[in-house]
Amino acid sequence: MAKTKENWNALNENERNIIENKGTEYPFSGAYNDFKEKGLYVCKRCEHPLYSSDAKFESGCGWPSFDTEITGNVKQILDADGRRVEILCNQCNGHLGHVFRGEMLTSKNTRHCVNSLSMLFVPNHREG
């Protein structure tokens, strides 16, 4: 399903700002913040599977939140500010957002805070 660098999806200016320049969309502005359909979220640039809708939850933070990624598909690195943990697509290194722990919002105690513009949604797709 994931694409190679030669055929990555074209990105508009806002998408490039987030995915390539590590920007952030405004809270409560993203298409997937209040989105509740079942399916799979994939990287907007390379279509690498990132999150199942089963892992999505309401956090109230203003961005789509997931308590777990598809194993091995999301990379975590220390952010340039040295305080947060950045999340990237493990296929193309596109910036997704940040991960936070210890908030007690779910039983997994983890929140992947993801920019809607970093993802595409594939309806009715089940992981596995």
Structure tokens at 26: 């405004």
3-state helix, strand, coil in the chain (%, to 5): 10, 30, 55
Q: Is 73 left (phi over 0), alpha (psi -120 to 50) or beta?
A: alpha
Which of the following is catalytic: 43, 46, 89, 113?
113
CB 77 within 8 A of CB 33: no
> Is-catalytic flag, 61?
no
Task: State the Cα–Cα distance between residues 87 and 77, nearest whole angstrom.
Answer: 7
Task: State the Cα–Cα distance between residues 71 and 24, nearest whole angstrom.
Answer: 24
Active site residues: 113
